[in-house]
Amino acid sequence: MREQAMDAFDIEEMIPGFSAPRLRTWGEARLAMIEAAEQRSRQWHSRIEGPIVPGSDVHKREVCRMFHETFNPYRPSVLDWPVLDPEARQRILSLPIWDIAVQTEGKARLRMAAYAKTVSDPDMRSALALNAWEENRHKEVLSKMVEAYGIPLAAEAPYKFPRDAEWAYLVTGYSECIDSFFAFGLFELARRSGIFPPDLVDTFEPVMQEECRHILLFANWVAWHRANLSWWRRIWFEAKVMAVWGYLGWERIGLARTLDADGNKQQQDHNFTVSGAQSVSSDDISVHELMVLCLHENDRRFSGYDPRLLRPTTMPRIVRFVLRFMGARGNPQKAA
Ligand SMILES: [Fe+2]
Ligand SMILES: [Fe+2]
């Protein structure tokens, strides 16, 4: 980027609430704007006073407002991909996740967009459409990375428009709740291990936080949607939710098999987020320590958002329950 000398750059005028030191170049200004957008995507509090009742109009409006106001405008095309030494490149190449990661983002985009189209409420429709757009941006980020490091990918099978858009959105949403919970812990483990270049970890940080926003939106959409269904639709919806959990369990114990565009069975790992600790760290970490780290990171990532908004609770509850059986008391420092 061409650096231009400036006497000063008053970024506070451009971004309300942001307090920056005096900036002398466009380069510094650009970095400050990226930093401000980063901060804004992690912190959000409603201006409404008093309780926000789940399912109410105020709840829906504030959730959607949160989603728009925490939007991070980073552009995949200008991300810097650090040069990797051969060992680091090989480590990245050997992670068994790139095919499934690219395809998951592609499916998520289509499914969310399909469901958004069916939503009659304009606030919620627009938030879900933005979520779909962000999934596509994740796919672009991954594509740029794959291109930069020469990672071979299986051909993508055509993405099918879902017949039942609500089912597809529920599968994607609950899937993200499971994967993000473990991904938060693994990402922190990878960052601490130092075996990946810090610049590469930094490049993925906004993507990781975006997944936190996505499951925050999803948890609140579920509550709002549920509260606004008639009793008979509600029964059907709860049955669907149970079936989705059943389906995800079936998928994750490895019974689901998918074919790539050439009809080959894919070597993909639906469980990497659960089993990938050894791939992202050279340190020995016990299952117990990893679970504690996941819980800690989950709480940390959500901590900046208004506590009156609902959080995904299933994975943290399951893991806390399992930890109790393992004799753990959840000291996050232990995993540090
Ligand atoms: Fe995503
Ligand atoms: Fe997402």
Res. 259 pLDDT band, cuts 50 70 90:
very low
Q: Measure the CA dihedral 306/310/311/315, to 10°.
A: 160
H/E stretch holding 258: none
Please name which of 286, 267, 264, 269 lies closest in space to residue 277, comparing C-alpha atoms: 286
pLDDT digits (tens, 9 = 90+) for 222-234: 999 999 999 999 9
The rounded Å distance from CA 210 to ligand 2 centre is 7
CA 11 to centroid of ligand 1, rounded, Å: 30
CA of 5 to the centre of ligand 1 (A): 38
Closest CA to 185 of 294, 281, 265, 23: 294
Closest CA to 153 of 204, 81, 95: 95
Helix ranges (DSSP H) in the chain: 11-14, 26-42, 57-69, 86-93, 98-118, 122-149, 165-193, 198-227, 231-252, 272-275, 277-280, 287-302, 314-325
What DSSP assignment string belongs to 275-318? H-HHHH-SS---HHHHHHHHHHHHHHHHTTB-TTS----HHHHH
Contact in structure between 144 and 160 (CB atoms under 8 Å): no
Give pLDDT tens digits for 75-130: 887 777 888 888 888 888 888 888 889 999 999 999 999 999 999 999 999 999 99
Residues flanking ion ligand 2, Cβ below 5 Å: 211, 214
Kindly give the distance from the C-alpha atom of residue 220 to the centroid of ligand 2, in angstroms, as a whole number: 14
Average the pLDDT over 134-140 and give the result. 94
* Closest-approaching ligand to the CA atom of 139: 1
CA–centroid distance, residue 140 to ligand 1 (Å): 10
Confidence label for 330 from pLDDT (cuts 50, 70 and 90): very low
Contact 14, 33 (CB under 8 A): yes
Class of domain 57-335: mainly alpha
Confidence (pLDDT) at 92: 85
Q: Is the pLDDT of residue 66 over 90?
A: yes
3-state secondary structure of 17: coil
pTM of the entire predicted model: 0.84
Distance from Cα 138 to the centre of ligand 1, integer Å:
5
The rounded mean pLDDT for the chain is 84
* Residue 183: count of CB within 10 angstroms of its CB: 22
How far apart are the C-alpha atoms of 58 and 64, rounded to whole Å? 10
Q: In which band, very low, low, confident or very high, does the pLDDT at 271 lie, cut at 50, 70 and 90?
A: low
- Per-residue pLDDT tens for 15-24? 555 555 555 5
Mean pLDDT of 267-280: 59
In the prediction, which pLDDT does 14 show?
52
Domain ranges of the chain: 1-42, 57-335
